[in-house]
Amino acid sequence: MKKIIFFKIGLLIIILSTFTFGAKVQYSQWKRGLSLEKYLSLHNISTDILSMLDEDDGLLVEEVGDTRDYYELIASNGVLLQSLIPVGEELQLHLFRTPEGYNVEVIPIAYKKDTYVALLLVDKSPTADIISKIKYRKLANEFTKVLKNSVNFRSIHKNDKMAIVYDQKMRLGQPVGSPDIKVAMLESKKKKNYVFQHSDGKYYDENGNALVQNYMGKPLSSLRITSPFTQRRFHPVLKRWKAHLGVDFGAKRGTPILAAADGRVVFSGWQGGYGNVIKIQHPDSYVTLYAHQSRLKAKQGEQVKRGEVIGYVGSTGRSTGSHLHFGLYKNGSPMNPMQLVKFSTGGLTGNSKNSYLNRKRKYTKIINTIFDENRPSYVWNTVNKRSVSPSDKKYYQNRGW
């Protein structure tokens, strides 16, 4: 289990080379709700291999079940040689056959992250134009969400300007997760309304004031983080990849757990490593998860209000001490809950504000210059040369991009 990554890659290559001897590679969509245990038994593999996983990896197993593409290598006699099953956006479970039996480990997903920039003039509406010109509905949804409290979308007219700078993870030529908008601008009545994402993942206006968003409430009346959210990190001692797709809050057994926002309880019961767990579906395709509870209060199907007690802190499932594991998911992908849990109402201050304002000045200058020069609407990838003609690339570089 704790072999170094180079060996793993070597192993992958060796196994992949068996492809030429009749094994076949298969990409399929993971069926919603299919657990890893079920998947293993479908392939006649003992679920005992999961007990070898440590606490963190054991929790990752519970994240399998998103409807995502996974990869299988199957021998000509139908025996599964290996599978790569995504958990979260950055890691995957690597299930592989060895002479002694099957083994499972957590390895990173190879993906690249590029920055894209889109400058458009409104034709029909911002949403319709992003969908028709950029052909990316998720980007249209994110753009609307980010700006909805700063701009009145009904006062947008034809030829108003819009700009989006966003990061996108790509895997096997397909976008992974949601676009991560860094800058959004929409013009209305000759005024350019900007929203910027700061390094804390939250959005602020041009003066560094926090934007009123649909922030979530705290899941406990007082929060003490004992383990932060990480999509992936290389553990220096264990020499392998780890992830923690939620935030752990230390609290005494029996402390009331509060619904972070209004929603419907879509799961209330026992789920493997999570023990007693509740999942709440909120508007805007968010789901929150509350794991390791000593006692569940809210029932499946129940409608709950923000701040309502849904259960009590405990240490059920794979847990070594009393705490709340709090997860947040957007369209099924885990994200850092701290991005949406509101801790303070204030804006940025001090160094944090200065660095924010510097970045803001840089972006607004570039975007304004490009619009002033009447450059035709463009979407381009600032990394991938192929999508930008050489003269365009030079043009944008000269403007400081």
- Return residues touching Zn ion (CB under 5 A): 246, 248, 325
Cβ at position 291, least distance to Zn ion in Å: 7
Q: If you write DSSP's letter for every residue of 200-237 in order, what string do you get?
A: TS-EE-TTSPBP----B--SSSS--EEE--EEEEEETT
What is the C-alpha to C-alpha distance for residues 46 and 295, in angstroms, rounded to an integer?
A: 30
Nearer to Zn ion among residue 187 and residue 248 (C-beta): 248
C-alpha gyration radius of the chain: 23
Cβ at position 325, least distance to Zn ion in Å: 3
What is the C-alpha to C-alpha distance for residues 30 and 34, in angstroms, rounded to an integer?
A: 7
Kindly report the backbone phi and psi dihedral angles of residue 181, in degrees, each rounded to the nearest multiple of 5, phi listed first. Answer: -75, 125
Nearer to Zn ion among residue 208 and residue 334 (C-beta): 334
Tokens of 267: 């799961």
What is the C-alpha to C-alpha distance for residues 134 and 139, in angstroms, rounded to an integer?
A: 9
Cβ at position 133, least distance to Zn ion in Å: 41
Q: Which residue is closest to Zn ion by CB?
A: 325
Nearer to Zn ion among residue 279 and residue 325 (C-beta): 325
Cβ at position 56, least distance to Zn ion in Å: 8
Cβ at position 155, least distance to Zn ion in Å: 44
Cβ at position 229, least distance to Zn ion in Å: 9
Tokens of 379: 């979407």
Q: How far is CA 375 from the centre of its chain?
A: 33
Cβ at position 248, least distance to Zn ion in Å: 4
Nearer to Zn ion among residue 267 and residue 371 (C-beta): 267
Residue 174, H or E segment: strand 174-188
Nearer to Zn ion among residue 120 and residue 280 (C-beta): 280
Nearer to Zn ion among residue 246 and residue 275 (C-beta): 246
Distances (CA, A) of 53 to 47, 94, 192, 242, 323: 11, 12, 52, 11, 20
Residue 166, H or E segment: strand 161-171
Q: How many CB atoms lie within 10 A of CB 386?
A: 6
Contact, 178 vs 328, CB < 8 A?
Answer: no
Residue type, 348: L
Nearer to Zn ion among residue 62 and residue 248 (C-beta): 248
